[in-house]
Chain A
Amino acid sequence: MCTAQFAVARSVGPPRLRRLDRVSVYLDHAATTPMLPGAVAVLTDQLARTGNPSSLHTSGRAARRVVEESREQLAASLGARPSEVLWTSGGTEADNLAIKGLFWARRSHDQDRRRILVSAVEHHAVLDPAFWMAEHAGAELVLLPVDGDGVVLVDALRDELEAHGDQAALISVMWANNEVGALQPVADVVALAHQHGIPVHADAVQAVGQVPVDFGASGLDAMTVSAHKVGGPGGAGALLARRGLELIPVQHGGGQERGVRSGTLDAPLVASFAEAVREAVDAMPTSPERIGALRDALVAGVLEMVPDARLRGPADASRRLPANAHFTFPGCEGDSLLYLLDSAGVEASTGSACQAGVPRPSHVLLAMGIDEDEARGALRFSLGHTSSADDVRTLLEVLPGVVERARAAGMAGVR
């Protein structure tokens, strides 16, 4: 059945070498997405100006004004108050500040609150600080289990809180998973946590611009956002921290950002960041609807072309990010798929990469109960504001040949 379809598909001639500057089909927007033109304009305009926002003279005040207007704009886009915005260097720093800062603050008041509760499918920017705190700072790490779709099991959290609620320092559950796109039950988590007086942090890096995110309405105590995932520049992010939430600083210095996050503020970056978020939020819900329709076509096409491919994450489109499609391809290795697609001009991701660039079976898929062999054949396609129906069409043209070849290579590895 597969063979007949592969026969009519365009043959993939890896590595038909392409020039590095050739335009490719970019289906890795969850890694980073092209900057929005408005964000580029703001950035380049601001880069030409000088002035340290902390300086007291005219140039400094001008830069500070840019920072504060950006703060107000970002807060307005995300349902927060301006004073709740803490600028950071990106999502990872914001996650670290939330995990470490909350833990130390809570524990300083109550030595018994040592447990850090995080979902098993968190990004490494949350997982690794949590593991680190367990190894080096006396924390106890509790990984909250997920179901087969990658959604946190609220009942498991309830049981944990009933048993050990008075020992919990904080809970961190992401708004939406970056690999399989599963939307998480943030409202349920917040409701349960607040019954026990436990602050909740959510990494909303993937959610902003794809689903409505209102920090104030969510009841969250802290939330991470990142600029480059929504069409802003790299190197900018923010932790939204509810007024009155105590955070012990991780980074010490000049006392910027309420003394919680020292470091010279970068007016061009934060202005461009705020502009990108504003554009992304203004484009709701039209843009996510358009992208969601493309994603649905992509999913349907992949399952038709490669019948044994399995969609991972929630099958119900309303329960996952509109731009996310994630599959496992039996008998294939993710790095073979990635290489073959890349050489055919299609850029995708295996979902997670380690420092040296080696794809490993993803902790997210393993937490969902997928075995290691299946997890090796994972591939994530993520769409974005530049995606078109042509992109999906090109992917579907090359994919059958790619999968066939990767499967042959997978067999070659088994000797």
Chain B
Amino acid sequence: MRVLAALSGGVDSAVAAARAVDAGHEVVGVHMALSRTRDQFRTGSRGCCSIEDAGDARRAADALGIPYYVWDLSEQFEQTVVADFLAEYEAGRTPNPCVRCNEHIKFAALLDKAVALGFDAVCTGHYARIVVRDDGTRELHRARDAAKDQSYVLAVMGPERLARSMFPLGDVASKDETRAEAAARGLSVSAKPDSYDICFVADGDTQGFLRSRLGSRPGEVVDTSGEVVGEHDGAYAYTVGQRRGLALGRPAADGKPRYVLSIEPVANRVVVGSADELVVDTVTADQAVWYSRLDTGDCQVQVRAHGAPVDARATVHDDRVEVVLPTGLRGVAAGQSLVLYDGTRVLGQATVTSSRRALAAR
């Protein structure tokens, strides 16, 4: 196959590309330029937009003996991922930009361009497995290494794009194995630190980034009874479940820690309450993407990238899904990605619209 290996400049994508070469594919390395600012030279350990990363990606391609190009997707990235990030926070929701990047950039703009240019598949360093059934259907599964599993952020792509994707790292036992393989292959990125931050927030200060792009909008922090317990500089900077950084003047009546329960963007209010009040048992989501037909049934769901899955009973109405969670779940925010699993297999993905506590108090 003709395979486009997306090279971020990190160790995972380099080893994934190496494995694609070993598998006998015709591989071409492409680094996506996602930012137009030039001042990201020294942010190599963070994201995937810096000149240093582009250089590391080039050296990985050299080591593998494959051609290497840089494709400018910064305009699409700004218009989809960054714009969505800002709009979602502004609307009081909690976006996951990595999910949006996979949805709009890696497995959309990049994949579409690759296919148009004659490639059969796009190969990335994501940790997830693709299982091909006897009948040819392809399933998305969790990676062998649960700690590195990225099926959660990939689920949004849907089955058609999965058919054009390759994740050669789905079977590695751990990140250490990937690093060891990179070192054994002589890839200079083998010891490069992992990136955790949002790549377009170069200094890791998400609140500062939101403030610089959305401006200061002071407002009230209230408790569930409506009493004002503090002030904020912009409701958009808060996420449901957040505890740190609330800077409330007065302690809660019961002396227990308080968490963000909800954001009210129109009123520009942040509502806080106890940990107990954060627990929901019914979550509604829309814009669903399905890998296999699902009507009503038992499954597991996950609502954040590094969250644990919980048992759920799902009811599907077209592209809407409602899940009931017998054990409850804390900190579910509108805008989050809800991924439904059957064991290791991804059933589908949808975007949370609302959550509530509906079952009788336990």
Which A residues are closer than 8 A to B by beta carbons? 12-17, 20, 335-336, 338-340, 342-343, 355-360, 405-406, 408-409, 411-413, 415
Contacts and interface: CB of A to CB of B under 8 A. Distances in A.
Contact of A17 (B26, B33, B38, B76): B26
A14 B51 contact: no
From B54, B67, B69, name the one whose CB has the most chain A CB atoms within 10 angstroms: B69
Interface string B111-137: 011011111000000000000000000
Given A335-B69, A355-B38, A359-B72, A14 B118 contact: yes
A68 to B, nearest CB: 40
Query: Which of the listed residues B31, B51, B58, B72 has the most CB atoms from chain A within 10 Å of its own CB?
Result: B72
Interface string B30-68: 010100001000000000000100100010000001010
Interface of B: 2, 26-28, 31, 33, 38, 51, 54, 58, 65, 67, 69-72, 74, 76, 108-109, 112-113, 115-119
B71 A409 contact: no
A356 B54 contact: yes
Given A15-B2, A343-B67, A358 B72 contact: yes
Contact of B112 (A16, A358, A413): A413
A341 to B, nearest CB: 12
Contacts of A406: 117
A335 B75 CA distance: 15
Given A355-B38, A358-B70, A15 B116 contact: no
Contact of A405 (B28, B65, B118): B118
B116 A355 contact: no
7 contacts: A15-B2, A15-B118, A20-B65, A336-B117, A339-B117, A357-B69, A415-B108
B9 to A, nearest CB: 10
Given A336-B113, A343-B28, A406-B117, 10 more contacts: A13-B118, A15-B67, A17-B26, A335-B70, A339-B28, A342-B67, A355-B38, A356-B33, A358-B74, A413-B76
Q: Specify the main secondary structure of chain B where it touches its partner.
A: mixed
A409 B30 CA distance: 15
Contacts of B69: 335, 338-339, 357
A176 B94 CA distance: 54
Contacts of B119: 15
Given A15-B2, A336-B113, A340-B117, A357 B26 contact: no
Contacts of B76: 413
A336 B119 CA distance: 13
Contacts of A360: 72
A357 B33 CA distance: 9
Contacts of B72: 335, 358-360
Given A356-B33, A405-B117, A413 B67 contact: no
Contact of A15 (B28, B31, B74): B28
Contacts of B51: 355-356
Contacts of A14: 2, 117-118
B324 to A, nearest CB: 36
Contact of B113 (A12, A17, A359, A412): A412
Nearest to A408: B116
B161 to A, nearest CB: 13
Nearest to B55: A356
Nearest to A340: B117
A29 to B, nearest CB: 21
Contacts of B67: 15, 17, 20, 342-343
Nearest to B50: A356
B4 to A, nearest CB: 8
Contacts of B109: 413, 415
A409 B38 contact: no
Q: Which of B2, B28, B112, B118 has the most CB of A within 10 A?
A: B118
B18 to A, nearest CB: 15
A358 B33 contact: yes
Contacts of A358: 33, 70-72, 74
A335 B116 contact: no
A340 B67 CA distance: 12
Nearest to A12: B118
B116 A412 contact: yes
A115 to B, nearest CB: 27
B33 A409 contact: no
Contacts of B71: 335, 358
A13 B67 CA distance: 15
A13 B70 CA distance: 20
A140 to B, nearest CB: 24
B46 to A, nearest CB: 16
Closest 8 CB pairs of A and B: A409-B116, A412-B116, A357-B70, A412-B112, A14-B118, A356-B54, A17-B26, A358-B33
A409 B4 CA distance: 14
A357 B54 contact: yes
A413 B113 contact: yes
A343 B66 CA distance: 11
A409 B69 CA distance: 16
A360 B113 CA distance: 18
Contact of A411 (B33, B116, B118): B116
A411 to B, nearest CB: 7
Contacts of A359: 72
A12 B118 CA distance: 9
Contacts of A17: 26-28, 67
A409 B70 contact: no
Nearest to B119: A15
Nearest to A376: B72
B140 to A, nearest CB: 23
Contacts of B74: 358
A360 B72 CA distance: 8
Contacts of B26: 15-17
Nearest to A20: B65
A360 B74 CA distance: 11
A411 B109 CA distance: 11
Chain A CB within 10 Å, residue with most, of B38, B51, B71, B109: B71
Contacts of A339: 28, 69, 117
Nearest to A335: B71
Contacts of A12: 118
Contacts of A415: 108-109, 112
Nearest to B30: A339
Contacts of B38: 355
